[in-house]
């Protein structure tokens, strides 16, 4: 299999192993709704944040969606609001790479190492992201022409080409400017953790609704021959059942062709389109044109009219719409997907009506919903490590509301202002409800989340455990680094953030399965123990952290191989062998990164 090589690759291939584990700090005043809902927003560098979340979520994520910088040279904005490139921020142990730290990555003609910098940034993050996926989990990554070839090659290297599930071509714009080849699309790459574990067919949860409406349309067409009576009867049924019909909750019309809705896809997005008159069938006057003209030529409009696919308003003042029948709705996750990219910008402007430019080029929620509806269900966990405007969190809440599922999300956003004022605020508003640009109240989707920031590392520069580290923090770290799996949660859902109040802290300690016992869990027939912070109730200087005969007698019994992390051991080699104990001395034998 061909692989990609670049300047700095040798230094970054294992960089994710060198990133130290950090604690996560709860910020309860920035939480929303029920903090126990399983949703989480984390502010901090996504490489460090991913490493901090591994002990909680390794092997637990069903779907990852990322929208990384496209490396165009104008991916972000500086303090003055001017479009500029992203900044390289990884402190890699390489003299050459250290030269890049904190510097803006320029455009093609300005920065000859821009592709190397992008690859050095992406590789360790993708390597970590793979560790989060369940065996039947998938990763979706948005990208455009700039880095599509490079991204595909490093994903092939990390996931294996045999786990490439496919590439979606997203037509998101129409470009009518004179050029050689008009670029009107982006890509969404999809890779599986283990393609052999994927179902033979992805089915969207909304397919049952489509089947029902197709059957209902045939029933109404056969039962009511007179069009007006048929529409009247279907309208009654539609009003009664609308809340259960997502994503067909706008399909309120019926004719001889079946149930349909009106689609405003006649507009030409962004650029000047075709100009011609379409006469209203009643008034005989030209119908109002879309602001930028029609997206198709006059011949196409005439053919659509002959086919009865055009919907006219009561008079010529309304722009025409096209009939979109239930039978034409996508029933598969296709490699070709058409959705106006401006919808994402319009969505976020509706949520932040007082801000003319809340965020540049956010993805439409419809795009993320499309991906998630085919690949997730129930209480599946979705991770987005380039959260930006919070589209993924918004899409999860929308999808849960529509199909009555309980999917959860984890969003990571590096910039403090964006994380607090855009990512968090957007998800909060759509969860609780908000007033849109017209002053109309939009009902909330319900749901909640915790908000965390990156805290300090577990270990200081000498490799010693920091005094602020709780038993619960070290327990998760020890269990994960010993087994490669998150600490089992026998009571409830994992809470990655340290509780902030004394009462909450007491409740968390009493609920956690490891809080009353030095036996953290059993993995593949091995019992994992931790003696730390007086877990056995010993408040002396050593706190019962040294393995003695007396301490061994107090440990929960397990008839099998045992690994005991402790500050020291006074048992002889023969006793350890007879008890099937492997001792790992803290802090020296704890992996610090």
Domains and CATH numbers, the chain: 9-203+332-452 (3.40.50.150), 207-328 (no CATH), 458-585 (no CATH)
pLDDT at site 2: 80
DSSP state of 363: P
Does residue 145 have a pLDDT over 90? yes
Tokens 């990384």 found at: 68
CA 94 from chain centre, in angstroms, equals 31
Residue 8, class by beta-carbon neighbours within 10 Å (0-12 exposed, 13-18 middle, 19+ buried)?
A: buried
Report the alpha-carbon distance of residue 107 to residue 103 in Å, rounded: 13
CA 545, CA 570: separation in Å to the nearest integer? 11
Q: What is the pLDDT of residues 150-159, one digit of tens each?
A: 999 999 999 9
Q: Which two tokens stand for residue 440?
A: 């109309």
Q: What is the DSSP letter of 498?
A: B
Q: How far apart are the first and last CA of the chain?
A: 30
Bridge partners of residue 584, in order along the sequence: 565
- Residue 492, pLDDT > 70, answer no
Calpha distance 572→359 (Å, rounded): 63
Confidence (pTM): 0.78
Output the 3-class SS for 41-80.
Answer: EEECCHHHHHHHHHHHHCCCEEEEEECCCCCCCCCEECCC
Torsion sign over Cα 16, 19, 20, 21 = negative
Quick check: 494 pLDDT over 60?
no
Per-residue confidence (pLDDT) for residue 219, from 0 to 100: 94
Distance from C-alpha of 62 to C-alpha of 371, rounded to nearest angstrom:
12
CA 133 to chain centre: 12
**Nearest in space to 154 (alpha carbons), one of 68, 51, 95:** 68
Report the pLDDT value the prediction gives residue 488, as an integer from 0 to 100.
76
Q: What is the DSSP letter of 356?
A: S
Average pLDDT over residues 10-24: 91
For 530, the token pair is: 């931790």
Q: Of 512, 350, 425, whose CA–CA distance to 41 is shortest? A: 425
Using the predicted structure, report yes or no on whether residue 99 has a pLDDT greater than 90: no
- Give the contacts of 307 (CB within 8 A, at least 6 positions apart): none
Whether 198 shows a pLDDT value over 90: the answer reads yes
pLDDT score, position 449: 96
CB 140 within 8 Å of CB 66? yes
- The yes-or-no verdict on residue 542 having pLDDT over 50 is yes
Other CB atoms within 10 A of residue 468 CB:
11
> 562 with 581: CB under 8 angstroms?
yes
What's the length of the chain? 593
Q: Tokens 């009664």, residue?
A: 240
- Identify the pLDDT of residue 489: 65
pLDDT for the residue 13 = 92
3 state SS of 85: coil
Above pLDDT 70, what percent of the chain? 93
Poorest-pLDDT segment among 33-42, 390-399, 556-565: 33-42
Average pLDDT value over all residues in the chain:
88
What does the alpha-carbon distance between residue 74 and residue 150 come to, in Å, rounded to a whole number? 19
How far apart (Å, rounded) are the C-alpha atoms in residues 544 and 568?
10
**Dist CA 428 CA 405 (whole Å):** 19
Q: Which phi and psi (to 5°) does residue 223 adopt? A: -85, -35
| pLDDT for residue 205 | 63
Mean pLDDT over 88-98 rounds to: 86
């Amino acid at each position: 299999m061909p692989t990609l090589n670049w300047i700095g690759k040798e230094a970054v291939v294992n960089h994710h192993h060198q990133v130290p584990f950090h604690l996560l700090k709860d910020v309860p005043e920035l939480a929303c709704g029920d903090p126990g809902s399983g949703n989480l927003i984390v502010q901090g560098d996504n490489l460090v944040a991913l490493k901090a979340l591994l002990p909680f979520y390794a092997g637990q994520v069903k779907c990852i969606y990322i929208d990384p910088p496209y490396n165009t040279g104008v991916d972000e904005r500086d303090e003055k609001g001017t479009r500029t490139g992203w900044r390289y921020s990884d402190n890699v142990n390489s003299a050459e790479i250290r030269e890049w730290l904190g510097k803006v990555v320029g455009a093609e003609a300005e920065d000859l190492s821009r592709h190397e910098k992008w690859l050095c940034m992406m590789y360790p993050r993708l390597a970590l992201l793979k560790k989060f996926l369940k065996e039947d989990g998938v990763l979706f990554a948005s990208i455009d022409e700039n880095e599509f070839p490079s991204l595909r090659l490093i994903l092939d290297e990390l996931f294996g080409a045999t786990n490439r599930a496919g590439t979606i071509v997203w037509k998101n714009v129409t470009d009518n400017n004179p050029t050689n080849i008009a670029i009107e699309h982006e890509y969404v790459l999809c890779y599986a953790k283990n393609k052999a574990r994927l179902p033979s067919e992805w089915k969207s949860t909304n397919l049952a609704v489509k089947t029902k409406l197709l059957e209902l349309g045939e029933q109404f067409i056969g039962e009511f021959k007179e069009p007006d009576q048929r529409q009247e009867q279907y309208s009654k049924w539609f009003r009664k059942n609308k809340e259960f019909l997502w994503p067909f909750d706008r399909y309120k019309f019926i004719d001889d062709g079946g149930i349909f809705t009106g689609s405003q896809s006649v507009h030409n997005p962004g650029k000047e389109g075709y100009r011609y008159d379409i006469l209203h069938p009643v008034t005989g006057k030209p119908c109002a044109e879309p602001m930028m003209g029609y997206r198709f030529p006059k011949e196409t409009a005439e053919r659509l009219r002959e086919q009865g696919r055009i919907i006219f308003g009561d008079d010529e003042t309304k722009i025409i719409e096209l009939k979109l029948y239930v039978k034409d709705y996508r029933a598969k996750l296709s490699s070709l997907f058409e959705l106006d990219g401006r919808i994402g910008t319009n969505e976020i402007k509706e949520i932040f009506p007082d801000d003319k430019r809340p965020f540049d080029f956010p993805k439409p929620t419809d795009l993320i919903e499309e991906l998630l509806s085919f690949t997730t269900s129930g209480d599946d966990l979705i991770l987005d490590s380039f959260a930006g405007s919070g589209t993924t969190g918004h899409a999860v809440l929308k999808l849960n509301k529509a199909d009555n599922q309980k999917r959860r999300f984890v969003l990571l956003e590096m910039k403090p202002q964006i994380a607090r004022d855009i990512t968090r605020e957007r998800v909060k508003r759509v969860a609780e409800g908000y007033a849109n640009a017209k002053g109309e109240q939009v009902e909330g989707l319900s749901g909640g989340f915790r908000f965390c920031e990156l805290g300090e590392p577990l270990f200081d520069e000498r490799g010693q455990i920091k005094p602020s580290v709780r038993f619960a923090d070290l327990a998760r770290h020890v269990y994960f680094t010993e087994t490669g799996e998150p600490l089992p949660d026998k009571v409830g859902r994992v809470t990655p953030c340290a509780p902030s109040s004394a009462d909450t802290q007491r409740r968390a300690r009493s609920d956690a399965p490891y809080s009353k016992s030095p036996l953290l869990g059993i993995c593949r027939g091995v019992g994992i123990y931790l003696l730390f912070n007086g877990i056995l109730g010993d408040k002396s200087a050593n706190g019962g952290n040294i393995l003695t005969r007396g301490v061994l007698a107090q440990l929960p019994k397990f008839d099998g191989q045992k690994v005991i992390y402790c500050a020291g051991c006074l048992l002889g080699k023969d006793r350890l062998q007879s008890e099937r104990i492997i001792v790992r001395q803290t802090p020296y034998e704890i992996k610090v990164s």
